Amino acid sequence: MASPHVAGVAALYLSQGGLNTPAEVYTALQSKATKDAITGLKGTTPNLLVFNSNHVYYNMVGFRTLTFGSLVAILLTAQLTEAQIVDVSNKYIVKIKEGADSNKVDQFLKTKLDQYNRGRSGNNGLKNELKSKFSLESFNAYAGTLSQGLVSELKAHGDVEYVEAEQVFTISGVQTNPPSWGLPRISQRARDTSAPYNYPDSAGEGVDVYIIDTGINVKHTDLGGRATLPVSFITGEATDDLNGHGTHVSGTVGGNTYGVAKKAKLIGVKVLSGSGSGTTSGVISGVNWVAEQAKKSGRKSVANMSLGGGNSEALKQAVNAAVQAGVTFIVAAGNESQDACNVSPANAAQAFAVGATTISDTLASFSNYGKCVKILAPGQDITSAWIGGTNASKKISGTSMASPHVAGVAALYLSQGGLNTPAEVYTALQSKATKDAITGLKGTTPNLLVFNSNQ
């Protein structure tokens, strides 16, 4: 009965990509296992308990939106949502150095693309082409399909900062259980989850909150006609939310019943497909679009990113540039019970990463931790809007659920006036947070629980 658990985990690892030989799979199984959890061992038996998440393995292709996928899911064989994996073979992000002559780089790329495509037989038939170009503050980059020879030349080019292989963002499993409790917790200094939810009359009015996710069920009655889904960076499927994750996040940010900021405008930015997957360049395209739209509108703006995974310099720099452009970025810290500084976008210097707490005011067992976490919020067993109907709802857990609580509070603060920059919002969130209420913290995680009043 034990062996098939490990065989299944090996299949999960292989399906995520990046592992090609039995030896690599064996190494991953041992390096990602939970250490020193088992008692009563005999002889030299290793104290390693199999763990089902390999998505921070450095060379693998696998980011996840941050819903709860814990060790318990293996031990209890809970049902998990399996995501399709997008093929990102030979796809790269090319980051241009700050201050470089973009026209010079454009010409170099055009010349090299023509050169390599004339000799495609030497590229195993691969067509080199650029799919996207990003230009946001100091973040200037290209995304495209490139052969190994061209990648090597680009890495050696004096105006190229780095070439990063594309990664994939995917949905992990969800856990359904008790009723939600997050709203009363963030409006009370002392824990009383039976108390009413108190919030300012402004309720986020006049603030745009961008949900960078799987889309939004804009017809859901709880969203009060305030939700739109104007853009998708996923090709080959409808713009609608076909997964549910983005709708759940939106409901927590601004739903009439489930939401923190009940008058905020909710703007969906679809960067993950119905199966829960999307590339780094797709996510960066969403970040870039948000920054441009916020600048055009001139309105106070917050972005929520309940997604993440292994370290990505390109994603970090894109988020930092969007913050420099004036957008407050609230992001999930991650669900691997590890240092949040290992994952992106939580480790972006100018993002505001959120860890998850439980109804008992403890750090959630799955939540990432450490100095890159800036604040904590309710994240276990949170009820919010869902897909499949205009009144659908679902209970799920994760730092994905914690982050929109904070994004909603940021919208409340901005609607009350007096705050004009992301840095000012971040300072207010931390200074007004409830101090020293959470137990079971790890590392240097700040003991700050988000609080929804800035008065």
Q: Are 377 and 449 in contact (CB under 8 A)?
A: yes
Could you give the CA distance from residue 266 to residue 254 in angstroms, rounded to a whole number?
7
Residue 378 CA, chain-centre distance (Å), reads 17
Could you give the CA distance from residue 317 to residue 321 in angstroms, rounded to a whole number?
6
Residue of 220, 245, 248, 405 with catalytic role: 245
What DSSP character marks residue 137?
Answer: T
Within 8 A by CB and 6+ apart from 443, the residues are 339, 369, 370, 371
Active site residue 245: yes
Residue of 70, 157, 172, 213 with catalytic role: 213
DSSP for 44-87, written as a single string: T---EE--S--TT-TTS--EEE-----HHHHHTT---PPPP---
DSSP for 328-357, written as a single string: EEEEE--SSSSBGGGEETTT-TTSEEEEEE
Q: Are strands 207-213 and 300-305 parallel, antiparallel or unpaired?
A: parallel
Closest CA to 445 of 385, 390, 399, 395: 399
Segments in 92-198 forming alpha helices (H)? 102-118, 148-156, 182-186
Active site residue 147: no
Residue of 53, 187, 232, 400 with catalytic role: 400
Active site residue 277: no
Q: Which residues are catalytic?
A: 213, 245, 400
